[in-house]
Chains A and B, each alone.
Chain A
Amino acid sequence: MTTFQLVAIAVCLGMALLTWAVALQRQNVAPRQVLLLWGLLWLAAAAALAVPDAITYLAHRLGIGRGADVLLYLAVLAGCAVAFRLSMAQRRLEQQVTVLVRELAIARSEASATAPTAAPPQTSPDAVEAGP
């Protein structure tokens, strides 16, 4: 076994442990199932590094040919999954921004409607609510 293999396996195992440790926390950055899955992926990577022939064997069983191609396809799939999750997160964030912007607009209009007429604290002149 080469030094590279040893180091890479150690890193992968470390990442697997880290992801699972995070998954055990109560407050999570991602759903628990997703974290557990990522841990499994790191573990699989460590296994593939330890037994490179395993990938080739897998490739033949899947009818893909080369082991490197299996890795490529898996990487593409993982990339798509990550992109999807990120765009979902972005959507949620956008919706939250809208809610905040809306609440701020309404709160400011209400503040200027109830403020005493003598020099109300206005941040911008056009945020005034000039009710009839």
Chain B
Amino acid sequence: MPSAARAGVFVVIAAYREAPAIASVVRELLAADWPRVVVVDDGSDDATGAEAAAAGAMVLRHVLNRGQGAALQTGIAFALRRGARVIVTFDADGQHRPEDLPGLVAPVLCGEVDVVLGSRFLGHEGAVPWRRRLLLRAARQFQRWTSGLALTDAHNGLRALSERMAARLCLRMDRMAHASELVDQVALSGLPWREVSVHVAYTDYARAKGQRGWAAVRVLRDYVVGRLLG
């Protein structure tokens, strides 16, 4: 991929209390020749923002914690203002691999589709702990029902959006339910989409820090309330 094209690709990372992980995530992305890395430090009370800036990311800071959905929307708005052609969303906890980015970005860059969604379940699904897999199966089914899109994964934070889709995106579910809201908005936009296989690492750090299974109840509640009340 030519570097002129890469300059239009903004990798947006919503980070909350990720000081131990964020620097290496940013550095790996920069080393893999993705020069535009935007970290939205979502009111962390640790050194997340400073670590990200030192590692070479552009850092935006929410003065209050507003949730991953809110932070992604901030990063996307910022990237669009800076002339982004493609926006990639990427997790801050080291679960995603920069190696997956070319496959994610290329279909958007060449105009084939407007949305590429990463999927843990196209290929090596052995990596996902079984409980998480069950939960994601249920979420996937629910998502098919609410959005009409037959995806193989749900709530995967790794995706690429065209400028056009990103500009239409308006995430109002500030916390974790935004991942379903995003799929709904993709379906509503009618823009072409595709899934590609990506690897999501369930490291000890990510598993210790990540959501517990019962957090799904809150996500579901946020989603239903958001859909009903707007």
Interface residues of A (CB under 8 A from B): 88, 91, 94-95, 97-98, 101-102, 104-106, 108-110, 124-132
Contacts and interface: CB of A to CB of B under 8 A. Distances in A.
Interface in B28-81: 35-36, 40-41, 43, 47-50, 52-53, 56-64, 66, 70, 73-74, 77-78, 81
Interface of B: 35-36, 40-41, 43, 47-50, 52-53, 56-64, 66, 70, 73-74, 77-78, 81, 172, 174, 225, 229
A94 B64 CA distance: 11
Nearest to B40: A105
A109 B52 CA distance: 14
Given A109-B60, A132-B35, A98 B70 contact: yes
B36 to A, nearest CB: 7
A108 B74 CA distance: 12
A128 B49 CA distance: 9
Contact of B58 (A88, A101, A129): A129
A106 B50 contact: no
Interface of A is mostly: helix
A101 B36 CA distance: 22
A126 B50 contact: yes
B59 A106 contact: no
Contact of A108 (B53, B57, B61, B66): B61
Contact of A124 (B61, B70, B73, B229): B61
Contacts, number: 75
A84 to B, nearest CB: 10
Given A101-B62, A125-B53, A126-B50, 11 more contacts: A91-B225, A97-B64, A101-B70, A105-B40, A105-B61, A105-B63, A108-B60, A108-B61, A109-B60, A125-B50, A131-B58
Nearest to B78: A106
A100 to B, nearest CB: 9
A101 B53 contact: no
A106 B172 contact: no
A128 B60 CA distance: 8
Nearest to A131: B58
A126 to B, nearest CB: 3
Nearest to B43: A101
Nearest to B39: A126
B80 to A, nearest CB: 11
Given A102-B74, A106-B74, A106-B77, A126 B61 contact: yes
11 contacts: A95-B172, A98-B70, A101-B66, A102-B73, A104-B63, A126-B47, A126-B53, A126-B59, A128-B53, A129-B60, A132-B35
A94 B74 contact: no
B229 A105 contact: no
A91 B50 CA distance: 31
Given A101-B70, A102-B73, A102-B77, A129 B59 contact: yes
Contacts of B78: 105-106, 109
A129 B78 CA distance: 11
Contacts of A108: 60-61
Given A101-B70, A104-B63, A130 B58 contact: yes
Nearest to A95: B172
